[in-house]
Amino acid sequence: MKGFRWIIISLFLLITIVPFLWLILASFKTNQELFSSPFKLPEKWMWENYESVLSNHPIPSYFFNSIWIAILSTIIAVAIATMVSYGFMYKFKYKQGWLLLITFGIFIPTNAFIVPYYFIVNGLGLYDTRFGVALVYAGVSLPLSILIVKTYMDSIQKEMLEASFIDGASVHRTFLSVILPISYPGMTTASIFLMITAWNELLFASLLTQSEGTRTLQVAIRFFLSTFSANYPVAFAAMVIAVLPTIVIYSLLSEKIIGGLTAGAVK
């Protein structure tokens, strides 16, 4: 049984790691070498591909846009999710119905929001702005962030609320001084998920931005491949640069992610 488990794990690692390794190797080849021998090691390691990405394109600007949008959208979504989750700690009318509605939002495909979000953002005068994209990301990610934070808050003993009220604290004071400080693990888990999702998102970033000043890194990668000119190794080098931050973040914070997800499983 243990051997079968390791076979499954090895197969999963093979499926996930091999394409990424191929992407790295391909980013060090020339265009001609990539098509003539796609699975061989590069004859000459073309570090010039990475130099071309960093020198001929405003990658730092795209990088900053992606970070700015990811951080702002995460702050908005997690702040709202924390307050909503706190509200669900109390009893109120139609509580289960509201929870079902929020949970249902997770299963709606994001493609269904393309037209409504475009008209809303455009109507608010936020088209081609980083704030407009961040606002959309926060809205799309809100159901998932509420579910993560609420799952963690469900593990908090209700006696803490009662003790706080007995000491004379108001509902808002209890939230700020009691619930919020001990909810950081759940908020951190939601923040990591939302930041990685916002960093990798392409659909809404392509739809809601137009100028180079608001373009995210994921959108910029598309412009490395045009109809009349396609330097695939350079585009692959840009992809590697875009992927590395998410790998580093998840590697460093994987324990916090797992801890935050499992904290609400056992009361």
Q: Is the pLDDT of residue 263 over 70?
A: no
What pLDDT does 46 receive?
86
Kindly indicate the confidence band of residue 266, based on its pLDDT and cuts at 50, 70 and 90. Answer: very low
pLDDT digits (tens, 9 = 90+) for 35-70: 888 888 888 888 888 888 888 778 888 989 999 999
The answer to whether residues 142 and 98 touch, using CB atoms and an 8 Å cutoff, is no
Q: How many helices (H) and strands (E) does the chain have?
A: 14, 0
Q: What is the percent of the chain where pLDDT is above 70?
A: 92
Residues 221-241 have a mean pLDDT of: 77
Query: What does the buried/exposed string (b/e) look like for 185-205 if buried means 16 or more CB atoms within 10 Å of the residue's CB?
Result: bbbbbbbbbbbbbbbbbeebb
Cα 75–Cα 78–Cα 82 angle in degrees, nearest 5: 135
pLDDT digits (tens, 9 = 90+) for 10-40: 888 888 888 888 999 998 988 888 888 888 8
CA 202 to each of CA 29, 30, 109, 133, 198: distance values in angstroms, whole numbers, following the listed order = 26, 27, 14, 11, 9
Region of residue 91 (phi > 0: left; psi between -120 and 50: alpha; otherwise: beta): beta
Distance CA 97, CA 107 (A): 16
Treating both helix axes as pointing N-terminal to C-terminal, what angle do 184-200 and 59-87 enclose, rounded to 10 degrees? 140
Mean pLDDT of the chain: 85
The answer to whether residues 40 and 19 touch, using CB atoms and an 8 Å cutoff, is no
Task: Kindly report which listed range (34-48, 179-193, 195-209, 218-232) carries the lowest average pLDDT score.
Answer: 218-232
Torsion angle defined by CA atoms of residues 226, 227, 229 and 230, in that order, rounded to the nearest 10 degrees: 60
pLDDT digits (tens, 9 = 90+) for 82-136: 999 999 988 888 888 888 888 888 888 888 888 898 999 999 999 999 999 999 9
pLDDT digits (tens, 9 = 90+) for 73-92: 999 999 999 999 999 988 88
Kindly indicate the confidence band of residue 238, based on its pLDDT and cuts at 50, 70 and 90. Answer: confident
Distance CA 108, CA 139 (A): 13
